[in-house]
Amino acid sequence: MLNLCKNNGNYFGVKSFQYTFVPENKIQKSDFTEMMKDKIINKAKEMFLRLGFKSITMDDIACEMCISKKTIYKYFSNKDVLIEESIELVHREIHETINKIVAQNFNAIEENFEIKRMFREMFKSAESSPIYQLKKHYPDVYAKALSSQIEVCETCFRDNILKGIKEGLYRENLDIDNYVKFYYTLIFNINENTMLEKDAHELEVKALEYHIRAMATLAGIIELEKHLKNPII
């Protein structure tokens, strides 16, 4: 505590300041810890998506990063925890990308196809559907991830429907709640029960087409047909 200009127990308009000194080596250690943890999560995410959650071991990740397995366990108590952290990173990346797409002011139907292209690009290196893998091999991790994403999906789908109605691409008399629930239930069921990512992608594109056709006005059908001529590969 720094005391200045004291007179009869009072200060002449000068406040006392509390200084906290943090050793330089402590700051550097904290930064290094976060950097290393982030590097492990990013590498694990990449390997899990490309080669599968089940097949990749902690040894594989350590070998790929040229670090010891002990180092990984210093930051993550077990593989399930690392998978959870990796999934959270994927979700953050998805949300950031969706927000960027929405900010570009595409019409509602075009926005749906742009988001689908984003998912295809993000998971194109995956042979097996990530959701299928998680549900089969790590059901507790999957249940936790699913519960945190349902509300996000509902909001995203709802906003798109409201936007499409405003643009005259979707009908005004839609039961929005049921359309939202039907679509996200369909999408999650496709991924939960389809092993190959390629097959899941093809079914998702079909589901998106049926979802839009069920809501579309004549102008919406014309817009949809335009996008179907440019397939998402």
Q: Write out the DSSP string of 189-228.
A: HHHHH--BHHHHHHHHHHHHHHHHHHHB-HHHHHHHHHHH
- Residue 93: predicted pLDDT: 92
Q: How do residues 155-189 score in pLDDT, each as one tens digit?
A: 999 999 999 999 999 999 999 999 999 999 999 89
Rounded Cα distance between 169 and 215, Å, is 8
pLDDT value, residue 151: 83
The secondary element (H helix, E strand) that includes residue 6 is: strand 6-7
Give the span between the Cα atoms of 97 and 161, in whole angstroms. Answer: 19
Number of domains into which the chain is organized: 1
Helices vs strands, H then E, count in the chain: 10, 2
Look at residue 3 and tell me if it is in a domain. Answer: no
Domain containing residue 191: CATH number: 1.10.357.10
Whether residue 12 is contained in a domain is answered as no
pLDDT of the residue at 3: 40
CA dist 228 and 32 (Å) reads: 48
Sites in the chain below the pLDDT cut of 50: 1-21, 27
In-domain check, residue 202: yes
Looking at residue 14, its pLDDT comes to 43
- Is the model's pTM score more than 0.85? no
- H/E stretch holding 65 reads helix 58-65
Asked whether residue 123 is domain-assigned, the answer is: yes
- pLDDT value for 29: 63
Give the domain extent around 170: 24-228
* 2-12 residue pLDDT tens: 343 344 444 44
| Residue 200 covered by a domain | yes
